[in-house]
Amino acid sequence: MIPSSPATRWALVLLVALAAAPVLSALGDQTFYVFLLTRMMILALAAVSLNLILGYGNMPSFGHAGFLGIGAYTVAILSVRAAETQGGWLASAGLQLPLATLTAAIAAIVIGAVSLRTRGVYFIMITLAFGQMLFSLGVAMEPYGGDDGMTLPLYTTLGPADLSAGPVLYYLVWGFLVLALAGSHRLMGSPFGAVIRGAKSNESRLAALGVPVYRYRLAAFAMAGAVCGLAGALLANQGGYVSPALAAWTHSAELVVIVLLGGAGTLFGPLFGALAVIGIEEILSRYTEHWRIIFGPLLILVVLATRGGLSGLFRVRNND
Amino acid sequence: MNLRGIGILVVLGLATLAFWISAPSTQNDGVRIGFVTTLTTGTGVIGADMRDAFELALDQMGRTMGGLSVWISYEDDAVDPNIGRQATERLVQRDDVHFVSGFIWSNVLLASYQAATDNDVFLIGANAGPSQLAGEACNRNFFSTSWQNDQTTMAMGEVLNDQVSNVYVMAPNYAAGRNMIAGMERTFQGQIIGKTLTQFPDQLDFAAELANIRAAAPEAVWVFYPGNFGTQFFQQYSQAGLLGEIPLYSTFSIDALNLPQIGDLVEGTQMTQSWSPDMDNPANQKFVADFRAKYGRYPSFYAAQAYDAAMLIRSAVEAVDGDLDDLDGLRQALARADFDSVRGSFSFGKNHFPIQDFFLREVMRDSDGVFTTRIVDVVYSDHVDPYAKDCTMQQ
Amino acid sequence: MTLVLEQALNGVQLGVLLFLLAAGLTLVFGIMNFVNLAHGSLYMIGAYFAATFIPWSGSFIVGAVLALAAAAAVGMALEILIFRRLYHRDHMDQVLATFGLILFFNELVLMVWGPAGMSIAVPSWLAGQVTIIPGVPYSAYRLAVLLAGLAAAAFLYVLVSRTRTGMRIRAGASDRQMAEALGVDIRLLFTGIAGLGAALAALAGLLAAPLRSVHAGMGEDILVLAFVIVVIGGIGSIRGAFVAALGVGLIDTVGRAFLPRALDAIFSDSIADAVAPALSTTLIYLTMVVVLAIRPRGLFPAPGV
């Protein structure tokens, strides 16, 4: 079932700690940490989706944040309609979240269909170009603020509550994150996952066996886009705000860093990566606004010192 | 557990410790202020100027307001709405500030302001002036010591009416750029012979647009290129041989921050603004003199606005005798704007945006040969922004 | 008509500048198989060095040469300290490490040179205009940039295809082990190439500086475009980078010069206003997609890459 390696043990401890965090925060009257950890978990969710293609599948997408934008704007557009027409159902999670996921999936199929014909740095540049085009699209959407972005007139509603209140959004995100991790594990352990991972190292052999590698990859790309769209919808609620900057390539690069730092192609890498990036940023920025001058070399150190990012730190020697 | 595991545990432990230790102490019973601005990236110079001005103000007050000590935290937004929002959340939720100020960029402000205003924290905007906050989304806990985005260019439109019959306009293609052009279009009655919106933020080269300008042969050129873009644009304008050929007007493109670099290129050009370093009211003379003495340069309008924000906050704290729990009292005191602004006459409209004068300014050298600007004419007196009528807020 | 010519000239000048940046990138990528995201940082540091050395030495040329030397030194130091440990690693590891370098350098210039950035004045002997197209005064400095860039391109061509060093470079690119076996000191060669790439980036940075401003993050503004050019031209191909850079420069300039008016004629004002600026970048990306669709490895893929 679940591999019982040191990494897994730590990850499970972390997930339990995350589940307890809002309670602790409330006791200490520190709601900021709920806000921060919600954002961290959403980024982890997006990173889990990117890990499917970048980590396991060697499809280095530099436009993945475009799907965050799609999910976020789906929520924003529906919210605006809901506010204008007083149609509460338009703001419900039951409509917004699946629709955000679906829209992102469709976009991913289109983008993937074109991009997956290429490899390596060519794939990087094409996905980056698509991401930037989505960004430009967001900027062109004047009624929704253009590049100023807009605040959500209504948060997504979940039954009697809505996703503006800290704990509700927090546990929803936590739940999705756990589901995504479990799903990622199942998927990569299945025959489908075997193809994706196999195609990373030996594509020609698979093709010789008659496996339609392109279709498998496209499916994986679509799934990754879909989950990222969901993350975007949650992100819109977390900040109560959407802007095209969500889809910019610098944001995609941040997701790539999270996946790589945590350990590409490992189950819990995205979680460790998100925690590390958000945590280090938070701690270091208290001491100096120039914290990136420490963070940058830290990334270099991790690359030089480990194979497989932070997850690689957990590996016992003879498992390398 | 192996050595690595222990090492990781130690690191985590230290990290958690660092976390809690660096959390600010909440034993300070004084005034707590947060300031969100841009301190890194290529535009960090603006945030540094605003911070310098705010610090100057605090030093002048002896770092107390109404008998209470002042705690201040400056946060960087890296021109990113998400980071700015997070910084505001941190200041409001973790650091329990009473006031948040700063905010250079409209998109960062729009993303962040509710984190403060929804939690009974007063937000004193010191630069960005988006129309949403001036109009329909006006908020009783929001006050601005700057201006509304349309106003300064409305003044420019009036100036151009007196001087030319057609103009070529250029600005970067983002919300503020479009607002600026819209403001000018409200008042300019002549012909806009060409309008170019350049790529934001990536456009590096204006050669194509400058060639088009020369081909169009307008009577004047008006641009909005803040910060680095201003420097870039004016350098290229000069190299294209257009300087001196076609009269050049600008808004928010030339300030004390880039004058040292481009002063030669823009000497004599005119712009509109609601403040100038040569204004002769006592508050401004003290501000400019002390700023120059302490930092060795002229303050920019960003700095002037930040300084006014500090003074506004103090006036409110003093009005309630330091009783920071009296939110209504604070709000009313803020709305009265009973302080000596460096702009001279200063009051708030019902949307909490300033009612102020706008001037025509010109670039020139002062008696020491340093480039600065001076007022040539008054364009608007006690101008109310065009969105105030859309504001239906209860005070 | 003269306007079209002038815009074409602008496009070529922009293209030549982009070529200088892309050439270093494609060299390092093609020969050492190393993805260097920090190439933009070398462009930036070259500009900062020049902005420091030019006033210090009082001469544009002397300052520029010093800046190139300093940037080359930085490039070589990076190769020795970081790059060479990562040649055998996955491209993504190289991406992560060089991304860290970007963060480092951006903060470093802020801390060392201050937040206000710097500027480099056009040298006084190039400050005027020349009339190459009748009726159009063209900036003398831009003309000089164009000529300098062409000279650099010619130099690179000669270096790579006509000299011993160039031969070794090409040998090292196509078959590293064989070249080593034949006595080529690959380590030294790679360090040298890193230095050359850095110098080219720095040259682009210091030539561009009087047109723009020198500020933190200026490398990232242009980095994506450089990668687009490398990809269109074919990784490792200097000739490809040259053609692609000129193409991109022309498309971008002509697009920005004439598209808005074309759009104005067809669509309403507000749509044209909103779409036109984004269209130019989108046009470049679309070009890249089209080129890759027809030639998946770029226009002139270097053999062995």
Q: Minimal CA–CA distance to C124: which of C37, C27, C210? A: C210
* Comparison of pLDDT for A175 and C185, the residue scoring more: A175
Contact A252, A61 (CB under 8 A): yes
CB C35 within 8 A of CB C98: yes
In a domain, C151, yes or no: yes
Q: How far is CA A275 from the centre of its chain?
A: 13
Is some CB atom of chain B closer than 8 A to the CB atom of C262? Answer: no
CA distance A172 to chain C (A): 31
Which among A239, A246, A227, A242 has a CA at the least distance from the CA of A98?
A: A227
Q: Is residue C40 part of a domain?
A: yes
What is the number of CB-based contacts under 8 A between chain B and chain C? 121
Q: Is the pLDDT of residue A3 over 70?
A: no
Would you say residue C300 lies in a domain?
Answer: no
Cβ contacts (< 8 Å) between A36 and chain B: which residues? 86, 89-90
At B387, list the tokens.
């969105």
Q: How far is CA A158 from CA A39, A89, A174, C87, C100, in A?
A: 19, 10, 15, 51, 40
Q: Do A283 and B19 touch (CB under 8 A)?
A: yes
**What are the pLDDT digits (tens) for A102-152?**
999 999 999 999 899 888 888 999 999 999 989 988 887 888 888 888 889
Contacts of C273 in chain B (CB under 8 A): 173, 178, 195, 197
| Chain A residues with CB-CB distance to B180 below 8 A | none
Contacts of C280 in chain B (CB under 8 A): 199
ipTM of the shown complex: 0.89
* Nearest residue in chain C measured CA to CA from A137: C278
Contact assessment for residue B142 and residue B132, using Cβ atoms and an 8 Å cutoff: no
Which chain B residue shows the shortest CA-CA distance from C281?
Answer: B199
Percent of residues, chain A, with pLDDT higher than 70: 95
Residue of A nearest to C233 (CA): A122
How do strand B166-172 and strand A150-151 relate by DSSP bridges?
Answer: unpaired
Whether residues A126 and C288 touch (CB distance < 8 A) is answered with yes
Average pLDDT over residues A259-275: 92
- Of A175-184, A260-269, B103-112, C288-297, the least confident: C288-297
Chain A nearest-CA residue for B17: A283
Percent of chain B scoring above 70 in pLDDT:
92
B338-B341-B346-B347 Cα dihedral, nearest 10 degrees: -30
State the chains in contact with C (3 or more Cβ–Cβ pairs under 8 Å): A, B
pLDDT band at residue B3 under the 50/70/90 scheme: low
Q: Whole-angstrom Cα distance, residue B328 to residue C293? A: 65
Contact across the interface for C103 and A292, Cβ inside 8 Å = yes
Which pLDDT score, from 0 to 100, does residue B254 have?
92
Q: Is B30 within 8 Å of B70 (Cβ atoms)?
A: yes
User: In the A/B pair of chains, how many CB contacts fall below 8 A?
Assistant: 84
Closest CA to B203 of C218, A130, A177: C218
Q: What is the pLDDT of residues B28-87, one digit of tens each?
A: 679 999 999 999 988 899 999 999 999 999 999 999 998 999 999 999 999 888 899 999
Q: Other C-beta atoms within 10 Å of B155: how many?
A: 27
Q: Which two tokens mark A310?
A: 């932070």
Please answer yes or no on whether A314 and B90 come within 8 Å at the CB atom.
no
Q: Are C194 and C75 in contact (CB under 8 A)?
A: yes
More confident residue, A242 or A311: A242
The answer to whether position C258 is within a domain reads yes
Mean pLDDT of B19-23: 57
Is a pLDDT exceeding 50 seen at residue B140? yes
Domain of residue C220: give its range. Answer: 2-118+136-294
Q: Given A129, A264, A304, which is nearest C285 (Cβ)?
A: A129
pLDDT, position A254: 93
Task: Tell me the three-class secondary structure of chain B, residue by residue.
Answer: CCHHHHHHHHHHHHHHHHHHHHCCCCCCCCEEEEEEECCCCCCHHHHHHHHHHHHHHHHHCCCEECCEEEEEEEEECCCCHHHHHHHHHHHHHHCCCCEEEECCCHHHHHHHHHHHHCCCCEEEECCCCCHHHHCCCCCCCEEECCCCCCHHHHHHHHHHHHHCCEEEEEEECCHHHHHHHHHHHHHCCCEEEEEEEECCCCCCCCHHHHHHHHHHCCCCEEECCCCHHHHHHHHHHHHCCCCCCCCEEECCCCCCCCHHHHHHHHCCCEEEECCCCCCCCHHHHHHHHHHHHHHCCCCCHHHHHHHHHHHHHHHHHHHCCCCCCCHHHHHHHHHHCCCCECCECCEECCCCCEEEEEEEEEEEECCCCCEEEEEEEEEEEEECCCCHHHCCCCC
Residue appearing with tokens 């301190």: B39
**Which tokens go with B56?**
């100057």
- Phi and psi based region of residue B96 (left: phi greater than 0; alpha: psi -120 to 50; beta: remaining): left
CA end-to-end span of chain C: 43
Q: pLDDT at residue B339 above 70? A: yes
**Average pLDDT of A192-196?**
89
Q: What is the pLDDT of residue C273?
A: 65
User: pLDDT-based confidence at A5, cuts 50/70/90?
Assistant: confident
Q: How far is C87 from chain A (nearest CA, A)?
A: 12
CA distance C236 to chain A (A): 12
Q: What is the pLDDT of residue A319?
A: 41
- pLDDT at C155 (0 to 100): 92
pLDDT for B112 = 94
Q: Which chains touch B (3 or more CB pairs under 8 A)?
A: A, C
The single-letter code of the amino acid at B56 is L
Helices of type H across A51-92: 65-85
Taking an 8 Å cut-off on Cβ atoms, the answer to whether B42 and C10 are in contact is no
**Which chain B residues touch A if contact means CB-CB below 8 Å?**
2, 4-5, 8, 15, 18-19, 22, 39-40, 74-76, 80-82, 85-86, 89-90, 93-94, 106-107, 110-111, 114, 130, 137, 173-176, 178, 200
Nearest to C110 among A136, A142, A290 (CB): A290
Q: Token pair of C266, please?
A: 């067809």
Interface touch A290/C107, C-beta < 8 Å: yes
B162-174 pLDDT, tens digit each: 999 999 999 988 7
Closest C-alpha to A258, from A278, A239, A243: A278
HEC readout, A249-314: HHHHHHHHHHHHHHCCCCCCHHHHHHHHHHHHHHHHHHHCCCCHHHHHHHHHHHHHHCCCHHHHHH
Which of the four pLDDT bands, split at 50, 70 and 90, describes residue B5?
low
pLDDT of residue A320: 38
Interface chains of chain A (3 or more CB pairs under 8 Å): B, C
Query: HSE-up of B120 (CA within 13 Å, CB side)?
Result: 8
Q: List domains and CATH numbers for chain B.
A: 27-147+275-356 (3.40.50.2300), 151-273 (3.40.50.2300)
* Chain B residue with minimum CA distance to C105: B41
Residues of chain C positioned with their CB less than 8 A from the CB of B47: 115
Q: Tens digit of pLDDT for each residue in B259-318?
A: 988 888 888 899 999 999 999 999 999 999 999 999 999 999 999 999 999 999 999 999
Please report whether residue C237 resides in a domain.
yes
What is the three-state SS of C73-86?
HHHHHHHHHCHHHC
With respect to residue C201, please indicate whether it lies within any of the assigned structural domains: yes
Is B197's CB within 8 Å of C208's CB? no
Residue range B115-123: average pLDDT? 94
What is the architecture of the domain spanning A6-319? Orthogonal Bundle (1.10)
Tokens of residue C217, six digits: 């993050």
Q: Which residue has the tokens 């093609």?
A: C30
For residue A147, the chain C residues in CB contact (below 8 A) are none
Mean pLDDT by 10 residues, chain C (305 residues): 84 93 91 92 96 93 95 96 92 92 95 90 85 81 92 90 80 73 82 94 94 88 90 90 94 83 73 68 87 86 60
Contact (CB<8Å) C211/B205: yes
Structurally, chain C folds into a number of domains equal to 1
Report the CATH number that the domain containing residue C275 is assigned in CATH. 1.10.3470
B208 contacts B199 by C-beta, under 8 angstroms: no
Q: Give the pLDDT confidence score for residue B187 in this predicted structure.
A: 94
pLDDT band at residue B239, thresholds of 50, 70 and 90? confident
Q: B197-210 pLDDT, tens per residue?
A: 887 766 778 888 89
> Do C100 and A295 make contact, defined as CB atoms within 8 angstroms?
yes
Contact indicator for C136, C6 with CB cutoff of 8 Å: yes
Question: Using CB atoms, which residue from A60, A122, A140 is nearest to C275?
Answer: A140
State phi, psi for A262 to the nearest 5 degrees.
-70, -25
pLDDT band at B241 (very low <50, low <70, confident <90, very high): confident
